[in-house]
């Protein structure tokens, strides 16, 4: 079984590039050139250098002793929250900005939910001196205000998406419309493993540094490269794709993705796509999509703006369909409790997104000898208001 994308851009039956003709020249150019560019010596040099000296990689693999005691099982945290800009998102934006430069593009657009990808994009645009426009749902502009201010300070223009539920899906629609209207000099830095081929594969490759490091860091600390399981939250699924990547063909490693169940999977206010969706086409790829019987996209809900998305990357749809990875969910309240637990046991305030991965530790039958790696994809600074309101500090 192959878990990699095939030549036509498919993972099993999922993927492809369902794009309007207006996007064809840009997508075709990417499809034809991305592998050559990212495998080139110059690109590798720049990418590795920036990840090391600018982002601060490798990110630590931290043995969480008190958490391990609490759960009676070994728990390691992959500290993507310690990256520059506060999440794993920067791995991808560094890769894509270098790619955009190699393609001769002058103008960068991006969508953002929680604002982490927006900040990571605005950051690399400042670094490279490129024009940056970030689309963000109007609701997210409100609930992630600090990130909006950061993006503006970094020189990006933040455009509020007013359509639909005014969240990540709508921001993505607006970014695609921008690209259609600016077909020549613009590169669209998609923030997750979604969108038309080659984005899911390209973004997964840029994020795969996460699992590459986990392997040698585990080896260094335990003398074994393979954990029992890897746990990561999934919205579009980029941090999960990155933390699963180098374990995909290691069948002994259990891969666990965690979706956002909002107020409960069946509450009508949820973003647990794999549990509620069915095959469909959204944002130019065939995947599993939350939709009505008539094929209209259902507006999702999650407390976490970064997971508030009705689709999922085609790679995850394939891993789900083939049972290579297991997908669980966590509700808003389970997530808030998990965030507080980590904060008070380990002194680490996680992002709401990452707290989804922590929340399922209670739902898995953990054995004392298990080695669990939880990808702590982002830090909680942006979510302080939510935490403070909920916990009443």
Partner 1 sequence: MQNRINQLFQDKKENILSVYFTAGYPKLDDTVTIIENLVENGVDLIEIGMPFSDPVADGPVIQHSSLVALHNGMTIKKLFEQLKDIRDKVNIPLILMGYLNPVVQFGVENFCQKCAEVGIDGLILPDLPLNEYQEEYQPLFEKYNLHNILLITPQTSEMRLRQIDEASSGFIYMVSSSSTTGVKNNVSDFHQDYFERIRQMELKNPRLIGFGISNRETFENACKYAQGAIIGSAFVKALDGELTLEEKISNFVKSIVRTA
Catalytically active residues are 89, 111, 377
Would you count residue 268 as binding partner 1 (CB under 8 A)? no
**Binding positions for partner 1, 159-178, rule CB under 8 A:** 163-164, 169, 173, 176-177
- Cβ 344 to partner 1, closest distance in Å? 41
**26, 182 in Cβ contact below 8 A?**
no
First to last CA, the chain: 50
Enter the tokens of residue 168.
């990540």
Q: Compute the CA torsion angle 359, 334, 88, 169 (nearest 10 deg).
A: 130
- Cβ 300 to partner 1, closest distance in Å? 12
Would you count residue 7 as binding partner 1 (CB under 8 A)? no
Which SS3 state, helix, strand or coil, does residue 136 take? strand
Would you count residue 22 as binding partner 1 (CB under 8 A)? yes
| Bridge partners, residue 187, by sequence | 108
Using CA atoms, how far apart are residues 379 and 332, in angstroms rounded to an integer? 17
Binder of partner 1 out of 17, 61, 210, 328 (CB under 8 A): 17
Would you count residue 20 as binding partner 1 (CB under 8 A)? yes
Binder of partner 1 out of 24, 65, 106, 363 (CB under 8 A): 24
CB nearer to partner 1: give 21 or 365: 21
Using CA atoms, how far apart are residues 18 and 2, in angstroms rounded to an integer? 22
- Cβ 364 to partner 1, closest distance in Å? 34
**356, 307 in Cβ contact below 8 A?**
yes
Burial track 342-351 (b if 16+ CB lie within 10 A, e otherwise): bbeebebbbb
Reference 321, options 15, 9, 8, 44; nearest CA is 15
Would you count residue 289 as binding partner 1 (CB under 8 A)? yes
Binder of partner 1 out of 281, 321, 340, 345 (CB under 8 A): 281
Binder of partner 1 out of 297, 328, 351, 355 (CB under 8 A): 297
Would you count residue 389 as binding partner 1 (CB under 8 A)? no
CB nearer to partner 1: give 179 or 247: 179
Would you count residue 107 as binding partner 1 (CB under 8 A)? no
Sign of the CA dihedral running 387, 163, 165, 319: negative
- Cβ 11 to partner 1, closest distance in Å? 16
How many Cβ atoms are within 10 Å of 287's Cβ, its own excluded? 31
Binding residues (CB under 8 A) for partner 1: these are: 16-22, 24-25, 163-164, 169, 173, 176-177, 180-181, 183-184, 279-284, 289, 291, 293-297
């Amino acid at each position: 079984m192959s878990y990699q994308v095939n030549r036509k851009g498919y993972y099993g039956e999922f993927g492809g590039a369902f794009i309007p003709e207006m996007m064809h020249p840009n997508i075709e150019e990417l499809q034809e050139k991305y592998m050559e560019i990212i495998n080139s010596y110059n690109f590798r040099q720049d990418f590795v250098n920036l990840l090391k000296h600018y982002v601060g990689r490798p990110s630590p693999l931290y043995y969480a002793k008190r958490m391990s005691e609490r759960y009676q099982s070994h728990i390691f945290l992959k500290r993507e929250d310690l990256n520059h800009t506060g999440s794993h998102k920067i791995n991808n934006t560094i890769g894509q900005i270098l790619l955009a430069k190699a393609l001769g593009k002058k103008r960068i657009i991006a969508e953002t939910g929680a604002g982490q990808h927006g900040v990571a994009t605005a950051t690399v645009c400042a670094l490279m001196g490129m024009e940056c426009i970030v689309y963000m749902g109007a609701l997210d502009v409100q609930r992630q205000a600090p990130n909006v201010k950061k993006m503006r300070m970094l020189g990006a223009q933040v455009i509020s998406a007013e359509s639909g539920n005014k969240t990540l899906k709508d921001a993505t629609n607006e970014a695609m419309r921008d690209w259609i209207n600016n077909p020549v000099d613009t590169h669209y830095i998609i923030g997750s493993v979604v969108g038309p081929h080659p984005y899911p594969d390209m973004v997964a490759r840029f994020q795969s540094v996460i699992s590459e490091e986990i392997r040698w860091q585990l080896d260094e600390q335990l003398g074994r490269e393979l954990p029992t399981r890897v746990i990561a939250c999934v919205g579009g699924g980029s941090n999960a794709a990155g933390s699963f990547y180098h374990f995909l063909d290691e069948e002994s490693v259990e891969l666990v993705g965690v979706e956002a169940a909002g107020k409960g999977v069946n509450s009508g206010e949820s973003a647990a796509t794999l549990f509620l969706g069915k095959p469909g086409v959204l944002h130019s790829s065939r995947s599993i999509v939350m939709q009505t019987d008539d094929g209209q996209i259902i507006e999702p809900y999650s407390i976490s703006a970064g997971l508030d998305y009705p689709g999922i990357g085609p790679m995850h749809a394939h891993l789900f369909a083939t049972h290579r990875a297991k997908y669980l969910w966590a509700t808003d309240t389970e997530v808030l409790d998990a965030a507080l637990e980590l904060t008070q046991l380990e002194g680490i305030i996680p992002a709401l997104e990452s707290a989804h991965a922590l929340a399922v530790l209670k739902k898995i039958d953990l054995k004392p000898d298990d080695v669990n790696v939880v990808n702590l994809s982002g830090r909680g600074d942006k979510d302080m208001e939510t935490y403070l309101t909920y916990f009443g500090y």
